[in-house]
Structure 1
Amino acid sequence: MKKRNFILLCVLGFSLAMLIASCSFKPDNLIAIGSKNSTEQLVLGELLAQHIEANTNLKVARKLNLGDTFVAHNALTNGEIDAYVEYTGTAFTAILKNEPINNPQEVYQLTKQKYEQKFSLEVMPPLGFNNTFAIVIRGEDARKLQVQTISQVAPKTPLWRAGFADEFLERKDGFPGLAETYNLRFAEPPKAMDLKLIYPALKDKQVDLVAGNSTDGQIGRFDLAVLKDDRLFFPPYQAVPIVRQQTLEKHPELREVLEQLSGKISAQEMQRLNFQVEAKERDVQQVVQQFLQSKGLIKK
């Protein structure tokens, strides 16, 4: 009786193991594309996915809107996704923990080298635009005070309130370094806000200064003003696809296809894409499809 029960348990255990293995099986021609949790990241994730689908025999699983930089990076290193778009300055400072530097080519090369050595990740050529952090105030305030730079605004900030995303509050290339560089002091500690809420909060005068991104579509929509980083605090943030080397070895055609996107998106084009999704509330897939068609990267 004991022997029969033992055999039965072995059979059940084997069946369960086979069931788990079949559920977690990933087809050879399937790759996963991820993104962080912003409009631009959703657009860029969809752009990679559509371009790969149109120009290879690979199937793409979309794992978009994962979270912040660290969530997306961890998903890439642990194999949950095969690729996503990152920004060189973010990779260099937030992930690699370096002090910010301003030379775009140096930041790119150092990031590429370290990502390969530390994480077995390939940093692909830049997509063509630099999405730097943008310190933003209301357009009406910029005109009234006749200010264009962060230095000009700094003496006025003790009477102002600021709103920043959690990540910006913690990063070396974020608020701590910015405040030290420009001697920024506010009426109260900056509010930690969801990135999607900062522009409505600025427009509605809940805060007076925020940190966004230079390609955000809502800057023009809400009549906002981007202040010039006149002390060159922020490093370059070139948008680059980052891919697992293991994935590139398995699917070598992926390298050529992703390299086709190099230099194809200007900052103005990226801002327009974001605007179409945010302000016009158009479908991300449709916006991306039309853009890729306009560039001759996929067929109409």
Structure 2
Amino acid sequence: MRFKPLLAWILMAIVLVMSISSCSANHAGSNSRGDIVIGAKAFTEQDLLGELLAQQIEAKTGLKVVRRLQLGDTLVCHNALLSGQIDLYPEYTGTAFSTVLKQKTIGDVSAVYRQVKEDYAKQFKLAVMPPLGFQNTFAMIVRGDMARSLNIKTLSQAAPYVPQWQAGFGYEFTERQEYANMVKTYDLNFTKAPRLLNLGLLYRALLQKQVDLVAANSTDGQITRSDFVILEDDRHAFPPYEAAAIVREATLQKYPQVRTALEQLAGKISPDEMQHLNYLVDGELRDIKDVVQAFRQSKNL
């Protein structure tokens, strides 16, 4: 009987400590979330664009921004946006058009942007900001020595050689409509199953002749720094891919100053500038925050 009061005090103390810990954790969690959460896909250019959006919002609005970069592929980011886990992320109009909206490829840049903007607002309550100024289309790339020896510059010219080649693609690419459209448009016959690789390993595999053809991005910094050749999409199998921020309308209603800050980035990045920024990170291993800060200063943002 003497132990019951002691046991009761111990239990009360445990409950009190747990309550305090729980409150502290909840308070810390709300602070750590910040006002705005920015996401990005899992490759260098998305890291750069995510950081650019973050620095722009911080500088122009004073809001606290949490970065959740390297989230994953398109649908991971899109679903995180819909569920409210993030407030915005950088996307490409062609990806939104084909992967999310499941539309058939068209080549009209303005028409693609307009439809993505309208459908995202109607279906998802998401706002598509003005394009940042460059396109990052899929680029089918081969080694320069091979392109010269075969005298090929376009996908049409490369098609007869594809059955002899080992292709290397990112995990998402073969699941996309663009892949099916490319295969159909050029009547490509991959007799060897494409090797599925992390995007960061594509160029290494191409350089080391583990693969002969890769699907990469036209603004990758490694392209101009190595002896690689982009095969021209001469039959327009791929849609336009303008880079633009996609934002939850609820976020813009809560923080209207975010819209103004993001609109100031419209048309600020040329394709060559984006390729150079990618190279500074991938080729010269510079810090992404420093690269973005220097770019913003050069643009007087």
TM-score scaled by structure 2? Answer: 0.91
Cα pair 2:32 2:66 within 8 Å, conserved: no
Query: Is 1:86 aligned to residue 86 of structure 2?
Result: no
Q: Secondary structure at the match of 2:27?
A: helix
SS at match of 2:79: helix
Tell whether 2:27 aligns with 1:22. yes
**1:116 equivalenced with 2:121 (yes/no):** yes
Instruction: Determine whether 1:257 maps to 2:261.
Output: yes
Unmatched 5+ residue regions in structure 2?
none
* 2: CA distance, partners of 1:77 / 1:147: 43
Instruction: Provide the residue aligned with 2:289 in structure 1.
Output: 285
- More divergent stretch after superposition (226-235 vs 70-79): 70-79
Q: Distance in 2 between matches of 1:54 and 1:11?
A: 42
Tell me, in whole angstroms, the C-alpha distance in 1 between the residues paired with 2:33 and 2:44.
30
**Structural RMSD (CA):** 2.2
Report if the CA contact (8 A) 1:39-1:277 is conserved.
yes
- Post-superposition shift, 1:21? 4.7
Which secondary structure state, in structure 2, belongs to the residue aligned with residue 192 of structure 1? strand
Which shows bigger deviation, 214-223 or 81-90?
Answer: 214-223
Structure 1 residue ranges, 4+ long, deviating more than 3 angstroms after superposition: 10-24, 26-29
Contact 2:132–2:242 (CA under 8 A) maintained in structure 1:
yes
Shift of 1:37: 0.4
Counterpart in 2 of 1:133?
Answer: 138
Where in structure 2 are the equivalents of 1:78-227 lying within 5 Å?
Answer: 78-174=83-179, 176-227=180-231
Q: Tell me the alpha carbon deviations over residues 250-288 of structure 1, each in whole angstroms, 9 at most, x when there is no partner.
A: 111111110000000000000000000001111111111
Displacement of 1:54 in angstroms is 1.3
CA contact (8 A) 2:117 2:127 kept: yes
2:48 to 20, 43, 58: 43
Matched, 1:248 2:252: yes
Compute the TM-score of the two structures, normalised by the length of structure 1: 0.91
SS class of match (1:131): coil
CA deviations 1:157-209 (Å, max 9, x no partner) are 111110111111000012x2211111111341111111111111011100000
SS at match of 1:264: coil
Change (3 A) 1:12 1:284: closer
Count of residue correspondences: 293
Give the match's secondary structure for 2:72.
coil
Aligned equivalents of 2:163, 2:48: Cα separation in 1 = 37
Question: Secondary structure of the equivalent of 2:244?
Answer: strand
Native 8 Å contact 1:132 1:234 kept in 2: yes
Structure 1 274/64 Cα, relative in aligned 2: closer, same or farther at 3 Å?
same
Q: Deviations over 1:116-145 (max 9, x none)?
A: 111111000000001110000001111111
Matched residue type, 2:73: D
3-state SS of 2:41 partner: coil
CA distance in 2 between partners of 1:251 and 1:86 (Å): 21
Among the aligned pairs, what percent are the same residue?
51
SS of residue paired to 1:65: strand
* More displaced 10-residue stretch of structure 1: 181-190 or 256-265: 181-190
Q: Does the CA contact (< 8 Å) of 1:35 and 1:64 recur in 2?
A: yes
Q: Which residue matches 2:76?
A: 71
SS where residue 212 of structure 1 aligns?
Answer: strand
**What stretches of structure 1 of length at least 5 have no aligned partner?**
none
Q: Aligned equivalents of 1:127 and 1:257: distance in 2?
A: 13
Q: Is the 8 A contact 1:29 1:57 kept in 2?
A: no
Contact 1:100 1:234 (8 Å CA) reproduced: yes
